[in-house]
Amino acid sequence: MTKVLVATEKPFAKAAVDQIEAVVKEAGFDFALLEKYADKAELLDAVKDASALIVRSDKVTSEVVEAAKELKIVVRAGAGYDNLDLDACTANDVVAMNTPGQNSNAVAELAFGMMIAMARNAYNGTAGTELRGKKIGIHAYGNVGLYVAKIAQGMGMEVYAFDPFVSAEKIKADGVTPVDSVEELYSTCQYVSLHIPATPQTKESINFDLLSKMPKGGVLVNTARKEVIHEADMIKLMNEREDFCYISDIAPDNKNDFAPFGGRFFFTPKKMGAQTAEANINAGVAAANQIVDFIKNGNTTFKVNK
Ligand code: 3PG
C-alpha cells in the first residue's frame, strides 16, 4: 500500500485537494487528508503509515520523520523549505522536495495589495500616495522577485534588484536595473520587497544598519519569512523614524511592540501570500505529480536534501 498524506494545518482550497486526490488515485495510490490539525500528536499519528507526505508551512521535524516509518518522500508544496528538517530526512532515507515557482504569482500580487493598502492609508478617507514613479528594490531576484518586477513595471515604478546569484545581464534583460550591493539597493529605493530565503546566513540579516539606509518614506514589504528580520532593530528604527513603514505577510514574534506605530505597520494574521485557489492548485498538484514521478520513475529533479 502506498499512502499519500496531505497534512496541511492551513488547508488548500477544496479544488486543489480534489485535484491532488485525483492525481494520487490515478497513479493507483491511497489518498489521505489531515487538515487544520490542532496539535503535533495528530500529525504524528497520521504519518505513521504514509509513504509520501505533502505539506505547506507545516513543521516536518525529526520527530515527525521518525514517526513516519514508511516515509519515502516529503514535498513542501511551495517554495521555502525551512520548515523541513533536511538532516532528519537524509538520515532516514527520505527524499525532500519543494515546488519552486508554483505559488510565486500569488505572493507577488499580495505584496502589491499590501503596498497599495499602506500607500492609501488603509482606505481611511485621507489622501494617500501612488506607486507610479517610485523606486522599488527587489531583494533576491528569484521566482517571486520576477513577478514583482513585472507588476511593478506595469504600475510605472522604477525597478531595481540585488541578487548575488543572478547575473546582471539576466536582470537587465528583464528591464530591471541591477545594483552591486544590498546596501545600494536599500539606499536607492523607497520600497524594498524582500524575497530571500530563511537560512542561518540570512537570519536577522535585515537589521538597523541596512534599514536605516532607506530614503524618507521607506517601506519594507516582507512576503518572505519573519526570521530574516532583526525584530528588535525594526522596532528601534520605527521608533526613531516616524516616516518608516513595515508591511509583513506574517505576524512578528512580539506583535504588541508594534502597536504604538499606528498605521505604519501591517501584518497578515496568517501567512497569506500563497493562499489563493490558483497557487494551491499549482503547488499541490505539482507536489502530487512529483511524488508519483519519484515513486514510479525515481525522478529526483526537485530534491533539496543531500
Ligand atoms: C512558500 O514558501 O511557498 C510560501 O511561504 C507559502 O507558504 P504556505 O504554503 O504556508 O502558504
The pLDDT tens digits of the residues spanning 185-224 come to: 999 999 999 999 999 999 999 999 999 999 999 999 999 9
Q: What is the pLDDT of residue 14?
A: 98
pLDDT tier for residue 271 given thresholds of 50, 70 and 90? very high
Q: Is residue 302 part of a domain?
A: no
Q: What are the cell numbers at 214?
A: 532607506
Q: Is the pLDDT reported for residue 1 higher than 90?
A: no
One domain, residues 131 and 230: yes
One domain, residues 74 and 142: no
For residue 104, report the distance from its CA to the centre of ligand 1, in Å. Answer: 9
One domain, residues 122 and 241: yes
User: What phi and psi values does residue 84 have, to the nearest 5 degrees?
Assistant: -100, 135
Geometric angle at alpha carbon 290, from 285 and 293, rounded to 5°: 125
Q: Is residue 14 part of a domain?
A: yes
Number of domains in the chain: 2
Helices 104-119 and 143-154, axial angle in degrees (round to 10): 50
One domain, residues 263 and 118: yes
* pLDDT tens column, 158-177: 999 999 999 999 999 999 99
Ligand 1, residues at Cβ distance < 6 Å:
10, 56-57, 78-80, 103, 271, 273-275
Q: Is the pLDDT reported for residue 235 higher than 90?
A: yes
One domain, residues 138 and 236: yes
One domain, residues 138 and 251: yes
Q: Is residue 22 part of a domain?
A: yes
* pLDDT tens column, 101-133: 999 999 999 999 999 999 999 999 999 999 999
Ligand 1: atom nearest CA of 98 is 3
Q: In this structure, which residue's CA is closest to atom 5 in ligand 1? A: 80
Q: What is the pLDDT of residue 161?
A: 98
One domain, residues 21 and 116: no
For residue 57, report the distance from its CA to the centre of ligand 1, in Å. Answer: 6
For residue 22, report the distance from its CA to the centre of ligand 1, in Å. Answer: 23
Average pLDDT over the chain reads 98
Q: Is residue 116 part of a domain?
A: yes
Q: Is residue 305 part of a domain?
A: no
Q: What are the cell numbers at 209?
A: 544598519
Residue 202, SS3?
A: coil
Q: Is the pLDDT reported for residue 15 higher than 90?
A: yes
Mean pLDDT of 20-25: 98
Provide the edge-to-edge strand list for the sheet that holds 177-178. 177-178, 158-162, 135-139, 191-194, 219-222, 245-248, 265-267
Q: Is residue 125 part of a domain?
A: yes
* CATH code of the domain in which 259 resides: 3.40.50.720
Q: What is the pLDDT of residue 198?
A: 96
One domain, residues 293 and 166: no
Mean pLDDT of 23-44: 98
One domain, residues 162 and 210: yes
For residue 156, report the distance from its CA to the centre of ligand 1, in Å. Answer: 28
For residue 7, report the distance from its CA to the centre of ligand 1, in Å. Answer: 14
* Pocket mutation for ligand 1, best pick of 10, 55, 103 (most atoms within 8 Å of C-beta): 103
Number of C-beta neighbours around residue 113 at 10 A: 14
For residue 78, report the distance from its CA to the centre of ligand 1, in Å. Answer: 5
One domain, residues 149 and 66: no
For residue 56, report the distance from its CA to the centre of ligand 1, in Å. Answer: 6
For residue 50, report the distance from its CA to the centre of ligand 1, in Å. Answer: 22
Q: In this structure, which residue's CA is closest to atom 9 in ligand 1? A: 56
Specify the amino acid at residue 16. Answer: A
Tell me which residue range forms the domain holding 42.
3-102+276-297
Q: What is the pLDDT of residue 97?
A: 98
Q: In this structure, which residue's CA is closest to atom 6 in ligand 1? A: 274
For residue 8, report the distance from its CA to the centre of ligand 1, in Å. Answer: 11
Q: Is residue 306 part of a domain?
A: no
Q: Is residue 303 part of a domain?
A: no
Q: In this structure, which residue's CA is closest to atom 3 in ligand 1? A: 78
* Pocket mutation for ligand 1, best pick of 271, 272, 302, 304 (most atoms within 8 Å of C-beta): 271
One domain, residues 98 and 111: no
* Pocket mutation for ligand 1, best pick of 17, 56, 194 (most atoms within 8 Å of C-beta): 56
* pLDDT tens column, 44-86: 999 999 999 999 999 999 999 999 999 999 999 999 999 999 9
One domain, residues 57 and 192: no
